Amino acid sequence: MTARVASTEPTRQTVYTEAMEVFHRAADLIGLDRRVRMELEEPDYEHIFYVTVKMHTRLTPLAAADQPRYKDLPDSELLPDGLEPLLDGSFVFKRRALINANVFMRDGVVRLKGKGLYKVVPGRPERFKAYRVQHNQARGPYKGGTRFHQDVSLDLFKVLAAEMTWKTAIADVPFGGGKGGIKVDPKTLSSEELEALTLRYMYRLKPLIGPNLDIPAPDVGTDGTIMGLLLRQFTDGERERHSLRGVVTGKDTRIGGSEGRVKATGQGLAYCIQEWYADRGSVPAGSSFLLQGFGNVGSNAAEILAGMGSKLLAVNDAGGTIFNPNGIDVPDLVSYVYDNPSNLRRTVAGYPKAEQISKNDLWDVDADILIPAALGAEITGPVAERIKVKLVAEGANGPTTPEGDRVLAKRAIELIPDIIGNAGGVTVSYYEWIQNKRMEHWSETEVNGRLEQAIKSNYRIIRDIARNTPRRTATHNSQRYCIGREMDMRTAAMVLALKRIEAHYQLEGFSQ
């Protein structure tokens, strides 16, 4: 066994060093070549840059203490179409609000009819911190999502980029790992500001990425619309712009996106859960599950699992938590969250056909499966002590802390680790990228058929590594990857990733 490489820097526990614990554990187990370990221990490149955007004029609610001074201010009538409501209670002011308007303003304060007093805050430029971490490209171009969220950091993007290196290796797609985004809460921006920010981000990013170099995709806070903007900004004015369509994945199907991509991560997770049951001679029908996060991954996983006959009992998201012991009708909840224009936060909170409970109570609900599909580090040690499920199936990236892992193992709660659990997204991103290269468009049946085969065969290899049962079947071959001893599923997944990455260094050698 190789001893762990001594770092030249003093050891400081960060989210990155913590996330790398499993890497070091697996690297020790397989005796990973010392130089390969050093190549993988830190990212190839860490880009930090700034993006400035001109913000629009806003009408923000006047502080309560200042309100008495304006009690005699008459109502102003502005065209509602010209006022875009934001989640912080303010409005973005657009010039068309003044068409046929009746405005009474004093010291920059107006009273909006039926809404109250607002202060006019003139538009001005703002600066946002942006990132792109390119972790490793031994197996192919860097690949990974774009996150727009207020709680991002370089350390977090390093974790997520490294995860992509492992995930692309586990999914056996010819990519490396990357991740990036902007420190911003997109819900506090108008649609035009978000567009401007996205375009400016790509303007800065363009020299660093490309369809054969680094390929972003959606992640928390971004979607197919944002991918369309990134695509346009990257390809604008290029002579062969259609050949560059593969610069981002997760696009709308009408502009080169793949069928099945939107659902792919939830679909991949459902295939893993199906395989977990198949291994026990059973099916998901008749089981029950809890969900954290009702965004892309969570809502799609829920719809697919419900379609397989599993019952959703409770959901927690950023807005609240709901519970119904008789089961929640998933398509109805999807329509409450996504088809209801007054549900600005797109939250499950307030869903009338379920009880509103606290987030803490979620962990006490008895169910077969818990699916974390929101942010990282949610299943901590204390949460892992509380939950009453048989299986944790990770849809989110890094939802379980190392301490949470230890408690789950102690309590014999089984785990489908994130790097295979949510690998469906990047697998179909690869199909999208191939379709773009070949100028093809595959059917959803073809995409899902390939995805099922890819996810289930790699899941079986990981399970064989964990149980140390090397075998070659019609669907998979784990002989090359089992290492002569048993281990937990998370370490097994990492062993598979490292063995696949190491092969490139062993067989291709190092450029000097």
Tokens representing 480?
A: 């090359």
- Residue type at position 436: N
**Catalytic site residue from 167, 179, 263, 311:** 179
In the complex, least distance from residue 429 CB atom to ligand NAD, rounded to whole angstroms: 8
Q: Does 297 bind ligand NAD (CB under 6 A)?
A: yes
Tokens representing 55?
A: 């913000």
Closest to ligand NAD by CB, 219 or 432: 219
SS3 143: strand
| DSSP-derived secondary structure for 176-235 | -EEEEEEES-GGGS-HHHHHHHHHHHHHHHGGG-BTTTEEEEE-TT--HHHHHHHHHHHH
Binding residue (CB under 6 A) for ligand NAD from 44, 219, 275, 368: 219
Q: Does 318 bind ligand NAD (CB under 6 A)?
A: yes
Binding residue (CB under 6 A) for ligand NAD from 267, 292, 401, 448: 292
Q: Which stretch binds ligand NAD (CB under 6 A): 55-63, 271-279, 314-322, 400-408?
A: 314-322
CA distance 459 to 136: 23
Per-residue interface string for the shown chain with ligand NAD, residues 352-391, x marking contact by CB under 6 A: ---------------------xxx----------------
Binding residue (CB under 6 A) for ligand NAD from 141, 178, 256, 293: 293
Closest to ligand NAD by CB, 168 or 292: 292
Active site residue 206: no
Q: Does 257 bind ligand NAD (CB under 6 A)?
A: no
Cα-only R_g, the chain: 24
| DSSP-derived secondary structure for 247-269 | GS-S--GGGTPPTTHHHHHHHHH
Question: DSSP character for 344?
Answer: T
CA distance 99 to 82: 9
Tokens representing 500?
A: 């696949």
Q: Are 139 and 36 in contact (CB under 8 A)?
A: no
# residues near ligand NAD by CB under 6 A: 23
CA distance 327 to 245: 42
Binding residue (CB under 6 A) for ligand NAD from 168, 316, 401, 427: 316
In the complex, least distance from residue 129 CB atom to ligand NAD, rounded to whole angstroms: 19
Closest to ligand NAD by CB, 56 or 263: 263
User: Minimal CB distance to ligand NAD: which residue?
Assistant: 295
Q: Does 163 bind ligand NAD (CB under 6 A)?
A: no
| DSSP-derived secondary structure for 156-190 | HHHHHHHHHHHHHHHTT-S--EEEEEEES-GGGS-
- Whole-Å CA distances, 334 to 116, 268, 301, 328: 33, 19, 12, 11
Residues 258-277 touching ligand NAD, rule: CB under 6 A, are 265
In the complex, least distance from residue 298 CB atom to ligand NAD, rounded to whole angstroms: 6
Q: Which stretch binds ligand NAD (CB under 6 A): 6-14, 218-226, 280-288, 493-501?
A: 218-226
Binding residue (CB under 6 A) for ligand NAD from 43, 141, 211, 218: 218
* Neighbouring residues of 45: CB distance < 8 A, sequence distance ≥ 6: 132, 133, 134, 208
In the complex, least distance from residue 151 CB atom to ligand NAD, rounded to whole angstroms: 9
Q: Which residues bind ligand NAD (CB under 6 A)?
A: 218-221, 265, 292-298, 316-318, 373-375, 395-397, 422, 425
Active site residues: 179
